[in-house]
Amino acid sequence: MRPHYEIADIFTLYGDQFRKTHAMNDEQRKVMRAIEVCRTAQLGGHTETCNNCGIIKNSYNSCRNRHCPKCQTMAKEDWLAARMRELLPCGYFHLVFTLPHVLNPLILANRKTLLSLFFSTVSETLKTFAADPQWHLEGMPGILTILHTWSQTLIDHFHIHCLIPAGVLSFDRRHWHAANEKFLFRQDSLAKEFKKRYLAAIETDLTTLTSTEDTIFHLRQAKAKKWVVYAKKPFAGPKQIVEYLGRYTHRIAISNHRILSIDNGEIIFTYKDRQHDNKTEKMTLSANEFIRRFLLHVLPHRFMKIRYYGFLANKNRRKSILLIRRLIGIAVEIVPVIKETLQEKILRITGKDIYLCPECKQGRMICQRILLPDRN
């Protein structure tokens, strides 16, 4: 059994040196610090004692930072439970919009503005196509969007995953227009419209953006490139949709299980080679380069990486879903809201009973006292 390594170990060993030699923004510093102290005495916790064998152990609090690999499971489960209650009795499509890498320097210099523009342009492109009579829908689509900023090797790779029900709500909200089960829109047509809208929006706001040395050159390159919108195979049913959401929504740039080795200032981790049938390969980076790449994917403060548009927009989502279910006329199994304790939730997800004594495997761990955060 190989040793267990964590991103927190890398930050603890090499973080101070990185801070001294690299420029960082406040949000990146906060993320590094949160991951370093997650589930340590510095965040406080409580002391537990087994009522059978008497063993005593400390259990420490989580940082709950959205970039922390140890703090996403519970948030993901709560979010998934809410989405399960919103599924429609129809097929779903999965589209991926990708920005060309030549725009990366400009995006990194204007992350909040140009990533927000990325979301809105994807939304407006899809709404335009859904309203166009040539696609035989003519209505408002529902769009769930999820931003990812990384590749498997942790370099900047900006793309948005879209989950779209296979149909639209008519503009008068009286009809449901079902889409073709195997086809939504032409990928090359979507890509051309998306490219036109995004570049036009950048040029309109160019004077307000932080320009890079080669901004005009990068824009010219982007105009010359063929942009890509990828349509994955449509989902076969609700189970596939939930599995998809579980994989993509609360993912971070790299999870702990991919880290193979931390030694002599070098990090070895696994990645899937997308160019060669997703074959698993190994990559070695210096600790400084690994940290630099990880921090590329720290999002701006309060920046929403999951957004909803069309009839799934937050304002009207609940009413629209009830209306569409009625218009489709297919019974939907309503998933009841089950209030679970933390223990029950972890037991369901992992099969692990957090109150079972890890030593004797028979007794129950009882909280004895609260541990205040260690500020030293």
Same domain as 57, residue 141: no
Q: Is there a single domain that holds both residue 89 and residue 154?
A: yes
Identify whether residues 248 and 321 lie together within a single domain: yes
pTM: 0.91
Q: What was the pLDDT predicted at 336?
A: 63
Nearest C-alpha neighbor of 242 from the set 92, 25, 30, 121: 92
| Total domains in the fold of the chain | 2
Secondary structure (3-state) at 107: helix
260 within 8 A of 268, measured Cβ to Cβ? yes
Give the N- to C-terminal CA distance of the chain in Å, as an integer.
35
| CA–CA gap between residue 10 and residue 5 (Å, rounded) | 8
**134 and 223 co-located in one domain:** yes
Give the whole-angstrom CA distance, residue 253 versus residue 298: 9
Task: Say yes or no: 22 and 92 in one domain.
Answer: no
In which domain, by residue range, is 26 found? 7-66+354-371
Structural element, H or E, at residue 59: strand 56-60
Euclidean distance between CA atoms 229 and 97, whole angstroms: 5
**CATH number for the domain harbouring residue 319:** 3.40.1310
For residues 85 and 23, membership in a common domain is answered with: no
pLDDT in tens, 248-292: 778 899 999 999 999 999 999 999 998 888 899 999 999 999 999
Residue 15 CB neighbours (<10 A): 18
Per-residue pLDDT of the chain (376 residues; tens, 9 = 90+): 567 899 999 999 999 999 999 999 999 999 999 999 999 999 999 999 999 999 999 999 999 999 998 888 777 888 888 888 888 988 899 999 999 999 999 999 999 999 999 999 999 999 999 999 998 899 999 999 999 999 999 999 999 999 999 999 999 999 999 998 888 999 999 999 999 999 999 999 888 888 777 888 889 999 999 999 999 877 777 668 777 777 777 889 999 999 999 999 999 999 999 888 889 999 999 999 999 999 999 999 999 999 999 999 998 899 999 999 999 988 666 666 667 776 667 767 777 888 899 999 999 999 999 999 987 6
**Concatenated DSSP letters for 21-50?**
HS---HHHHHHHHHHHHTTSGGG-EEEEEE
